[in-house]
Chain A
Amino acid sequence: MSLLTASNLTKRYSRGGKTVAAVDDVSFAIAPGETLALAGPSGSGKSTVARLVLRLIEPDGGGIVFEGDDFLALGGTALRTRRARLQMVFQDPLAAFNPRATVARVLDDPLRIHGIAPRTERPRRIAQLLERVGLAAALAQRAIHEISGGQRQRVAIARAIATKPSLIVLDEAVSALDVSVRGQILELLLDLQREQKIAYLFISHDLGVVRAIAHRIVLLDAGRIAESGDARAVIDAPRSAIGKALVAAAPRLDRNIRQDGSSTARQS
């Protein structure tokens, strides 16, 4: 059974009297513990799909089933409660946090909102979360703008896993990081996936990274699915024109982070 099924998602924008479909009839499914990559050139609708899945924007058509429920039918408190299971990490780790916030407050919010830990318990839980993503617990007292980009993205991941989600949408989550930090963050994401069986919707234009960590891939072009299938098979031998163009443009990545080739997720 799939964890999330998106069927025939459509989102249109009208610009200057003309209607432009940012996302046109896009369907895909994510299994528990699986990484599905959503790749495509700029403007292909990747981020719009992410925002549709998270219900940050409402689709004009189509459906989303998450954990067996019609996700689009949820509203108000029911939606806010269910959001604990579906988290997101943004591309720009500085823009993703309130500029006035401290690390502790950023991590305290999800714990408080979803009643995960009582007030007295929370500082300990925040320290645990920080340690889990490879940061010192003492960092909690620092302001968000005082820590480095890599640390910020780790804090973002800590916030995403605070509510024990089953799916995390990673919207270009490693694109803004420098190469050495990027590798470490990807390792951390894979560790968390193995440990907590979290599924990822991994949005990226970097096919090298996608090939290294994704199980399956959906290639988008101008809001439509151009090609989909096993991540390595598609990237090694793309059939669609946009797939060929993207592969040709991608720098070679010889090292694979996912050494085992298959994954635990596919059995489910």
Chain B
Amino acid sequence: MSGLRRFLHTPEAVAGVVILAALFAMALSASLLFPGDPQSIAGPALLPPFQDWSLPLGTDRLGRNVLAELFHGARTSLAVGLAAAAAALAVGAVIGTLAGFAGGLIDEVLMRITDAFQTVPGFLLALAFVSVVGPSLGVVVVAIALSTWTGPARVARAEVLSIRERDYVAGARVIGMHPLAIAFREVLPNALPPVLALSSVIVAAAILTEAALSFLGLGDPNRVTWGGMIAEGRTVLRTAPFLSIVPGIALVLTVLGVYLAGEGIVETTAVKRGLS
């Protein structure tokens, strides 16, 4: 309870949570407020914002409702961001735990694989993967996870290296627990807090990577994405800059919200752990 209160007394954290809550509300209400296909034509083309109150943010080059696209785009951004971060954290934590706990050859092999992934620029890797396999939401998630799991893996390994020398791990061996059970039941849960602290950075990076892929036309073509909207607006940047600016602002606010809320959570839990 005091953790929550401390959290709510941090203005940045509250701002982050408010932005995220608004984003979730947008994502969840998208098909209620804007039923039907957001990519269908709703009015005259290139209507500027705040002219027609049935189309508050105007229309794009083909006459699609920008506000509806924005709401539906929130879904994609959130879904991709969260799914990719979850996948990256899960894969990273498991690989880092295995490497740190097993040591020796297994550690060496797993960490060299991690090195290999880390030396390739993450965005290039995602780009290559999507262009080979073909753009769809699942592939984009996998592509982003592929380029971000190395960070959590390294943090998890470092943590596991210190945890595996603790008495309770020796105790688990003494009672005859299987090494894999020790790694995943005794060690991994205790190595998680610093790994989870990375999650806000990874979610923010995943949302940006998804937007960048969509901007380059490698997003899921059947979904509205903010990156795709920016790319659409680019062709008419001089005459209708709002088409790029509106989704751009949404993107910036989202990443900021994720970041602030994440920092707030990390800060609150760190203080809590420091006190106990």
List residues of chain A with CB under 8 Å of any chain B CB.
Answer: 51, 54, 56, 80-81, 83-84, 86-88, 90-92, 95-100, 109-110, 113-114, 159, 163
> CB of B34 within 8 A of chain A?
no
Query: 19 A-B Cβ contacts within 8 A?
Result: A54-B174, A56-B170, A80-B176, A81-B176, A83-B176, A84-B176, A88-B171, A88-B174, A90-B167, A96-B171, A98-B168, A98-B172, A99-B168, A100-B190, A110-B175, A113-B176, A113-B177, A159-B175, A163-B176
Q: Are the C-beta atoms of B173 and A98 separated by less than 8 Å?
A: no
> CB of B178 within 8 A of chain A?
yes
A110→B174 CA distance, assembly (Å): 10
**Whole-angstrom distance from the CB of B186 to the nearest CB of chain A?**
5
Q: Are the C-beta atoms of B174 and A83 separated by less than 8 Å?
A: yes
Considering the complex, give the chain B residue whose CB is closest to the CB of A168.
Answer: B174
> CB of B189 within 8 A of chain A?
yes
**Whole-angstrom distance from the CB of A93 to the nearest CB of chain B?**
9
Q: Are the C-beta atoms of A80 and B168 separated by less than 8 Å?
A: no
Considering the complex, give the chain B residue whose CB is closest to the CB of A111.
Answer: B175
> CB of B166 within 8 A of chain A?
yes
Known: A99-B190, A109-B177, A159-B175. 15 other contacts (CB 8 A): A51-B170, A56-B173, A80-B176, A80-B178, A83-B175, A83-B176, A84-B175, A86-B174, A87-B174, A96-B167, A98-B168, A98-B186, A98-B190, A109-B172, A110-B175
Q: Are the C-beta atoms of B167 and A163 separated by less than 8 Å?
A: no
A95→B186 CA distance, assembly (Å): 13
Partner of A56, one of B174, B176, B186, B189: B174
A86→B167 CA distance, assembly (Å): 16
Q: Are the C-beta atoms of B175 and A90 separated by less than 8 Å?
A: no
Closest 8 CB pairs of A and B: A83-B176, A80-B176, A95-B167, A110-B175, A96-B167, A88-B174, A90-B167, A98-B168
Fill in one digit per residue for B171-209: 1 if any A CB lies within 8 Å of its CB, else 0. Answer: 111111110000000100110000000000000000000
Contacts of A97 in B (CB 8 A): 168, 171
Q: Are the C-beta atoms of A110 and B167 separated by less than 8 Å?
A: no
A110→B181 CA distance, assembly (Å): 13
Considering the complex, give the chain A residue whose CB is closest to the CB of B173.
Answer: A56
Considering the complex, give the chain A residue whose CB is closest to the CB of B181.
Answer: A113
Contacts of B175 in A (CB 8 A): 83-84, 87, 109-110, 113, 159, 163
**Whole-angstrom distance from the CB of B83 to the nearest CB of chain A?**
27
**Whole-angstrom distance from the CB of B253 to the nearest CB of chain A?**
37
Q: Are the C-beta atoms of B176 and A110 separated by less than 8 Å?
A: yes
**Whole-angstrom distance from the CB of A56 to the nearest CB of chain B?**
5
A161→B58 CA distance, assembly (Å): 75
Contacts of B171 in A (CB 8 A): 88, 90, 96-97, 159
Considering the complex, give the chain B residue whose CB is closest to the CB of A159.
Answer: B175
**Whole-angstrom distance from the CB of A226 to the nearest CB of chain B?**
27
**Whole-angstrom distance from the CB of B86 to the nearest CB of chain A?**
21
Partner of A92, one of B167, B178, B189, B190: B167
Contacts of B174 in A (CB 8 A): 54, 56, 83, 86-88
Considering the complex, give the chain B residue whose CB is closest to the CB of A101.
Answer: B168
Contacts of B167 in A (CB 8 A): 90-92, 95-96
A175→B67 CA distance, assembly (Å): 69
Contacts of B186 in A (CB 8 A): 98
Contacts of B178 in A (CB 8 A): 80, 113
Fill in one digit per residue for B133-175: 1 if any A CB lies within 8 Å of its CB, else 0. Answer: 0000000000000000000000000000000001110111111
A190→B176 CA distance, assembly (Å): 25
Q: Are the C-beta atoms of B176 and A96 separated by less than 8 Å?
A: no
Contacts of B177 in A (CB 8 A): 80, 109, 113
A169→B273 CA distance, assembly (Å): 33
A180→B176 CA distance, assembly (Å): 33
Contacts of B166 in A (CB 8 A): 95
Contacts of A163 in B (CB 8 A): 175-176
A83→B186 CA distance, assembly (Å): 18
A84→B174 CA distance, assembly (Å): 8
Contacts of A100 in B (CB 8 A): 189-190
**Whole-angstrom distance from the CB of A7 to the nearest CB of chain B?**
22
Contacts of A51 in B (CB 8 A): 170
A150→B268 CA distance, assembly (Å): 32
Contacts of A110 in B (CB 8 A): 175-176
Contacts of A88 in B (CB 8 A): 170-171, 174
**Whole-angstrom distance from the CB of B100 to the nearest CB of chain A?**
17
**Whole-angstrom distance from the CB of B266 to the nearest CB of chain A?**
19
